[in-house]
Chain A
């Protein structure tokens, strides 16, 4: 049964990939380029060399975490699209924690900074969960609105209250300081965020699959009435899944600050949150699937530079490719379960 489900997912995903390659190949051919050569270059730019693989995995790290922001609440039947906002408030909280902790031992400080980021992101989405449970406010809409509110608060904070006036070129927050920066995984050019991302997906998978909490969440996601009838604490489950999802995205923000930028600024708002929603849907809300999808999407983004240099393709070509892929994969969702049912009959 599980094997059949895996085979079905693999078959449908391959079909969607094939359709994507044909459609995008047509677009590329319309420019007079050879699609096969473009795809070969895309592969090299994404996975072909150690250097490109490093770039791919670096881009994949935040996507794994923002994908969880949608995937975990989805298991409880909620559609949360607030990863972008949770990432932003997580980044801001990390900066504040880093500045407050100035002088503390780096290992402790970095731990607390990441904790602060995760906590802030978690509370941000948990607020939407609370509104959902006690006020009936739709969580999709509220988290979408919260994204904009988070970005506005970030812009306001870095425009004066926490602005680093030594940076003249753009508005950025106080720096957390070189000592509090999370370095690279030894021997690689990949920062530690990748380890956090993979670990978070594994923990989420274990939690949802092997604990009574995960079992309760699955019942709630399957049927709200049934969950109420058997006396599950629906409110607490909604809050907990929202908090965990938001915490993952908040951690992504913390890592963008502590491992990439060293400060909070508009560079946190680059669409990782929105890409994460699609990554979650591509992974069919499965935490381990999020890892694979994030690496695939990271690879497509990472190859953009090489495609531009080699073929003169606009850098938006990778956006188009991802967009086609998303539509194709979402369309295959209609066939999930049917292939299996057909075989069983």
Chain B
């Protein structure tokens, strides 16, 4: 993965592009899922647990069945189940969605570690990837453009969700539940059911994002697999202003930021490696401070969201 000295700073750039493509996939899926959930008016802070449980169940199922795609599907279903639990508990009046999210963060991680112990040793089949860099003579470029099928699926899904939220009946119902629950009720739609479905869909996507971690990159299952991508998605969605298309761009940006430290390390710059890891959070906080106001909610934020009030 380290670029050889002959590429030098160009190598850093290649590593950044490659890193952005490789690292961004879990961000992309988790943030698309969280966008769906938040646009329905609810925050699910438990997607970190969903991600880890998704990673474990994908790995376990792929190992036992020999099919990585079956693993992806089961990871999504496990995520949807956690989403169902979150949404049903939050549908009860006076239950705090932030607290339930943190509880599910703990429960999802705990369940993954509890059930995943037997899968730490064996090797599961990996997801396939496409060699989009086959034209290049440089092994670095080829490695950077080795694109996984899930990344492409996410790249298609982002504009699709953007269109679905904007231009379909379902999207309108979802947005109404998220912007003004009373209006949605007045139109005869069940806000609770809408949020259950949106949270389940969000959990499904986050679970699929987790399967990428265990079945492609890093491509193994262990208890230190996720480095907080699920929680970072919360920041990412704010950064993307609850817009699926922007989620795609911001996921690439966060992925590149994650890859920046190792890339700089390879050309001998190591001093601020750990601080660079905080860059996405610092940027999001700066954006929040800049765009918040005591007079109105955040631009683009769903009106029913507890965290935008």
Complex contacts, A81 vs chain B, CB 8 Å: 98, 102
Q: Which residue of B lies closest to A128 (CB)?
A: B285
B295 at the binding interface (Cβ < 8 Å)? yes
Query: Which of B166-174, B209-217, B228-236 lies at the interface?
Result: B228-236
Residues of B within 8 A of A159 (CB): 273-274
CA–CA, A243 and B108, complex, Å: 32
Q: Are A140 and B98 in contact (CB under 8 A)?
A: yes
Is residue B240 contacting chain A, with contact meaning CB distance below 8 A? no
C-alpha spacing A153/B234, complex, angstroms: 21
Q: Is the CB of B113 within 8 A of A322?
A: no
**Is there an interface contact between A281 and B285, defined as CB atoms closer than 8 Å?**
no
A131–B293 CA distance with the chains assembled, in angstroms: 10
Residue of B nearest to A277 (CB): B102
Asked if A141 lies at the interface with its beta carbon under 8 angstroms from chain B, I say yes
Q: B103's closest neighbor in chain A, by CB?
A: A326
Q: Which of A270-284 contact B (CB under 8 A)?
A: 274-275, 277-278, 281
Q: What's the A-B contact tally at a CB cutoff of 8 Å?
A: 150
Q: How many residues of A contact B (CB 8 A)?
A: 48
Complex Cα spacing A318 to B98, Å: 22
**Separation in Å of the B147 CB from the closest CB of chain A?**
28
Residue in A146, A278, A315, A331 whose CB lies within 8 Å of B95: A331
Known: A274-B105, A314-B117, A319-B114. A140 touches B307 (CB 8 A): yes
> Given the known A-B contacts A131-B289, A278-B99, A314-B114, are A327 and B104 also in contact in the complex, defined by CB atoms under 8 Å?
yes
Pair B114/A320 contact, Cβ less than 8 Å = yes
Chain B hits for A152, CB < 8 A = 274-275, 277-278, 281
B272-304 interface with A by 8 A CB criterion: 272-275, 277-278, 281-282, 284-285, 288-289, 292-295
A260, CB-defined interface residue at 8 Å:
no
With A326-B106, A327-B89, A334-B92 known as contacts, the answer to whether A141 contacts B288 (CB < 8 A) is yes
Taking chain A's interface residues, is the majority helix, strand, or loop, or is none over half, making it mixed? helix
Within 139-196 of A, Cβ neighbours of B (below 8 Å) are at 140-142, 144-146, 148-149, 151-153, 155-156, 159-160
Instruction: Kindly list chain A residues whose C-beta atoms are within 8 Å of the C-beta of B231.
Output: 144, 148
Residues of A within 8 A of B196 (CB): none
Chain A residues, CB < 8 A from B102: 81, 274, 277-278, 326
Collect the chain A residues with CB atoms within 8 Å of residue B228's CB: 148
**Considering the complex of A and B, which 10 residue pairs feature the smallest CB-CB distances, nearest first?**
A323-B107, A319-B110, A152-B278, A316-B113, A326-B103, A334-B92, A156-B274, A155-B274, A136-B294, A320-B110
Given contacts A135-B292, A141-B238, A326-B103, 10 further A-B contacts (CB under 8 A): A133-B294, A137-B289, A156-B273, A275-B106, A319-B109, A319-B113, A330-B99, A331-B89, A333-B94, A334-B95
Where the two chains meet, the residues of B that have a C-beta atom closer than 8 Å to any C-beta of A are 45, 85, 89, 92-96, 98-100, 102-114, 117, 228, 231-232, 234-235, 238, 271-275, 277-278, 281-282, 284-285, 288-289, 292-295, 306-309
